[in-house]
Structure 1
Amino acid sequence: MLGKTINEINIGDSASFQKTISETDVYLFAGITGDINPAHLNDVEAKKTIFGERIAHGMLTASLISAVLGVQLPGPGTIYLGQDLKFKAPVKFGDTIKATVKVIEIIKEKNIIKLDTTCTNQEGKVVVEGLAIVMPPKERV
């Protein structure tokens, strides 16, 4: 895998990654992060929430954006500098989430790119949206 340098990236370039979120994914994420909120892990308690069932962690969903940035665009060697996020809808167990990034600004003198970031479910509904700021590799990694 080779990461793209700033000279190989253009406004409008995009990439995506898709994954079906399983119960196992949610439990593993809870164990890694320590976020054991019952909305994610306890069916009885989750039924009392506005969602009426267990849902995936918002940050688990948003982490799929990192997969796109670190593996595809710009790819290996990318440094993640920042991310603004808006959580628009819950992600349920079994939802297939597509994380997409699109280059919207290139600041060559600082070796920085800005990307629109969006996660949609299998119905095309936006569940997460935001803006990422990254530094692509200075040379091919």
Structure 2
Amino acid sequence: MIGKKRKLGSKLKELKVGQSYSADLTIADKELLLFLGLTDDANPLYIQHDYASQTPFKQPLVPPVMLIGFINSAISMYLPGPGCHIVEQQVTYPHPVYHYAVLSLYLEVTDINEEDHLITVMVKVEDEEGRIVVDGKMKVCPAYELESMNAKSLENFY
């Protein structure tokens, strides 16, 4: 990474209300096992088919916090993108998400607060049946406009 040029995401002045991003996600075993291993989460509702089959859900669920990880990644990488920071989130999970689900993620900028250097991003995730499985909003601090390194390094010269 050293010496590699990295592009920052959209700065506050570049963002517009209504700007959006969408993507499709597939919840595969690899992602589930990596997440559960990383978090040391052994909830039987997430990993044991025999247990889950005896619950009202009938099959293992995807942990909600894993879904938030996908959303955070989309915000960090695409809207507003690299250099941003999520400062608040309000999220509900109206329907469960099952293993192997194909999801559609939609993000949209709904408010820009220049004074506080924050934007509000509406979040919607639908499953393959069109049901909303994640609904919410996030307050995000977009990347800051950086001063030129050349301007700083030359400030001692007249």
Superposition TM-score, scaled by structure 1 size: 0.93
Query: Quick check: 2:26–2:100 contact (8 Å CA) kept in 1?
Result: yes
CA apart distance, 1:32: 1.0
Once superposed, what is the RMSD of the aligned Cα atoms?
1.3
User: How many residues align structurally?
Assistant: 140
Are residues 1:106 and 2:106 paired?
A: no
In the alignment, what sits opposite 1:119?
125
CA apart distance, 1:110: 1.1
Are residues 1:46 and 2:52 paired?
A: yes
Write out per-residue CA displacement over residues 100-128 of structure 1, whole angstroms, 9 at most, x where no aligned residue.
11111110011100111111112221101
Query: Quick check: 1:17–1:64 contact (8 Å CA) kept in 2?
Result: no
Q: Which structure has the larger Rg? A: 2
CA apart distance, 1:62: 2.2
CA distance in 1, matches of 2:54, 2:17: 45
CA distance in 1, matches of 2:93, 2:76: 21
Structure 1 stretches of 4+ moved >4 Å: none
Q: Which amino acid aligns with 1:121?
A: D
CA apart distance, 1:90: 1.2
Superposition TM-score, scaled by structure 2 size: 0.83
CA apart distance, 1:18: 1.9
CA distance in 1, matches of 2:143, 2:135: 24
CA distance in 1, matches of 2:12, 2:87: 15
CA distance in 2, matches of 1:17, 1:62: 14
Structure 2 residue matching 1:110: 3-state secondary structure: coil
In the alignment, what sits opposite 2:20?
14
Choose between structure 1 and 2: higher strand proportion. 1
In the alignment, what sits opposite 2:73?
67
What runs of 5+ residues in structure 2 fail to find an aligned partner?
A: 1-6, 147-158
What runs of 5+ residues in structure 1 fail to find an aligned partner?
A: none
CA distance in 2, matches of 1:124, 1:25: 22
